[in-house]
C-alpha cells in the first residue's frame, strides 16, 4: 500500500513539474521585455549655432540638427539625449565613446575623417564674413594678413582653420562660441567674423549694425560623425537620413527654420 502511495505521489509531483514547466514556458515571452527602459542615443552638439542648434526661449534645445536627430532616434527606437559641449570636444568625445554621435553643423574635412567617420551629407553651407555696417572692409578680398585686420572665429571650426591658414594665426582671435565672436565684433575687438552662412544670418538679424559681405569665403558640407568602429550605427543613420530625405521630412524641417519666402 505504501508503495502505491509513493508511486502516486511521485507521479503527482512529476505532473506538477511538467505543469509548472508548461505554464512557465507560456509566460516566458512576456517575462522578457526587451525595452524595459528606452535605450539612449547620445548626441554631442554645441548649442550656440542657430538655426542648426540653439537653446530656445523655453530653455529646450531647438534647431534643424536637433529635429533631424530626433527623427533619427525615433526611427532607431531610441531616446535622444543631447549634450551641449564645446565644438572642439565633440570629435574626441565621439572617438572615446562618451557620445554616440556628433551633430553640430559639422563640416566634413579630410583631417576630421582621420578621427571619425561621417554620414552622408544632409546640408551644404558656405563660410561668410560678417563686419560692422560701416566697416572699411567692403569685400572678402579686403581681408589681409598684414596685421591691420583681426578676424574673430569660433575656435576649432572650419572658419578658424581657414582664417588661420589664410591670414596667419596671429591675426585670428578664437572664441568659444560664434556668439562670443559676434559680441567681440560689436565691441570693436575684431574687424570681421568668419562663420557659416546660416548662423551668420541669425546673428546679423539678432544684432543691429552688422552685415554679411557678399560672396562665399568657402563651401562645405555638413554631416553626422560617429566613432570609426561604429559602422552599424553609421549604416542606421544613413538609412534613416535617406528615408527622411525621401519622405520630405528634412526639407520640412529646413523650411521651418530657413523659410524660403
Ligand atoms: N561648420 C563649421 C565646422 O564644422 C562650424 C560648426 C559649428 O560651429 N558648430 O567647423
CATH 3.40.190.10 for domain 125-219, yes or no, is: yes
Query: What are the cell numbers at 118?
Result: 561621417
- The one-character DSSP state at 100 is S
Residues 6+ apart with CB under 8 A from 90: 44, 45, 46, 99, 102, 104, 106, 225
Nearest CA to ligand 1 atom 5: 157
So what's the pLDDT on residue 41?
A: 98
Going from the Cα of 202 to the center of ligand 1, the distance in angstroms, rounded, reads: 15
Going from the Cα of 96 to the center of ligand 1, the distance in angstroms, rounded, reads: 20
**Sheet of strand 61-62: strand arrangement:** 48-49, 53-55, 61-62
Going from the Cα of 107 to the center of ligand 1, the distance in angstroms, rounded, reads: 6
So what's the pLDDT on residue 261?
A: 79
Cα–Cα–Cα angle for 140, 144, 149, rounded to 5 degrees: 95
- Report the atom number in ligand 1 closest to the C-alpha of 107: 4
- Report the atom number in ligand 1 closest to the C-alpha of 156: 10
Nearest CA to ligand 1 atom 10: 157
3-state secondary structure 23-37: HHHHHHHHHCCCCCC
So what's the pLDDT on residue 215?
A: 84
Domain residue ranges of the chain, discontinuous segments joined by +: 40-122+223-257, 125-219
Write out the chain's pLDDT in tens, 261 residues: 454 444 444 544 444 444 444 444 444 444 455 556 669 999 999 999 999 999 999 999 999 999 999 999 999 999 999 999 999 999 999 999 999 999 999 999 999 999 999 999 999 999 999 999 999 999 999 999 999 999 999 999 999 999 999 999 999 999 999 999 999 999 999 999 999 999 999 999 999 999 999 988 889 999 999 999 899 999 999 999 999 999 999 999 999 999 997
Which residue in the block uniquely carries the three cell numbers 511521485?
Answer: 10
3-state secondary structure 41-85: EEEEECCEECCCEEECCCCCEECHHHHHHHHHHHHHCCEEEEEEC
Going from the Cα of 157 to the center of ligand 1, the distance in angstroms, rounded, reads: 5
Going from the Cα of 161 to the center of ligand 1, the distance in angstroms, rounded, reads: 10
Cα gap 136→211, rounded to integer Å: 12
Which residue in the block uniquely carries the three cell numbers 533619427?
Answer: 72
* Residue list, ligand 1 pocket, CB within 6 Å: 46, 49, 87, 104-107, 154, 157-158, 178, 196
- Report the atom number in ligand 1 closest to the C-alpha of 48: 9
Nearest CA to ligand 1 atom 8: 157
So what's the pLDDT on residue 165?
A: 96
Query: What are the cell numbers at 140?
Result: 572678402
- Report the atom number in ligand 1 closest to the C-alpha of 161: 10
CATH of span 40-122+223-257? 3.40.190.10
Going from the Cα of 125 to the center of ligand 1, the distance in angstroms, rounded, reads: 10
Nearest alpha carbon to residue 196 among 214, 175, 210, 216: 216
Going from the Cα of 143 to the center of ligand 1, the distance in angstroms, rounded, reads: 21
- Report the atom number in ligand 1 closest to the C-alpha of 106: 4
Going from the Cα of 158 to the center of ligand 1, the distance in angstroms, rounded, reads: 6
Same-fold call for 40-122+223-257 versus 125-219: yes
- Report the atom number in ligand 1 closest to the C-alpha of 109: 4
Amino acid at each position: 500500500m505504501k508503495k502505491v502511495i509513493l508511486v502516486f505521489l511521485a507521479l503527482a509531483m512529476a505532473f506538477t513539474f511538467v505543469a509548472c514547466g508548461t505554464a512557465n514556458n507560456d509566460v516566458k515571452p512576456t517575462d522578457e521585455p526587451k525595452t524595459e527602459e528606452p535605450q539612449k542615443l547620445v548626441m554631442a552638439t554645441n548649442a550656440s549655432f542657430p538655426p542648426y542648434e540653439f537653446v530656445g526661449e523655453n530653455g529646450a534645445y531647438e534647431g534643424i540638427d536637433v529635429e533631424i536627430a530626433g527623427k533619427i532616434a525615433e526611427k532607431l527606437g531610441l531616446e535622444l539625449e543631447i549634450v551641449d559641449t564645446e565644438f572642439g570636444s565633440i570629435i574626441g568625445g565621439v572617438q572615446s565613446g562618451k557620445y554616440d554621435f556628433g551633430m553640430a553643423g559639422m563640416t566634413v574635412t579630410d583631417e576630421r575623417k582621420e578621427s571619425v567617420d561621417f554620414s552622408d551629407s544632409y546640408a551644404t553651407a558656405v563660410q561668410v564674413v560678417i563686419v560692422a555696417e560701416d566697416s572699411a572692409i567692403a569685400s572678402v578680398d579686403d581681408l589681409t594678413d598684414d596685421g591691420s585686420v583681426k578676424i574673430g572665429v569660433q575656435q576649432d571650426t572650419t572658419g578658424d582653420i581657414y582664417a588661420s591658414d589664410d591670414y596667419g594665426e596671429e591675426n585670428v582671435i578664437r572664441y568659444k562660441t560664434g556668439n562670443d565672436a559676434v559680441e567681440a565684433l560689436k565691441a570693436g575687438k575684431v574687424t570681421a567674423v568668419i562663420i557659416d552662412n546660416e548662423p551668420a544670418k541669425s546673428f546679423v538679424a539678432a544684432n543691429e549694425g552688422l552685415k554679411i559681405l557678399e560672396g562665399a569665403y568657402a563651401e562645405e558640407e555638413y554631416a553626422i560623425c560617429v566613432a570609426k568602429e561604429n559602422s552599424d550605427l553609421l549604416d542606421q543613420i544613413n538609412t534613416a537620413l535617406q528615408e527622411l530625405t525621401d519622405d520630405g521630412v528634412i526639407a520640412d524641417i529646413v523650411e521651418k527654420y530657413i523659410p524660403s519666402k
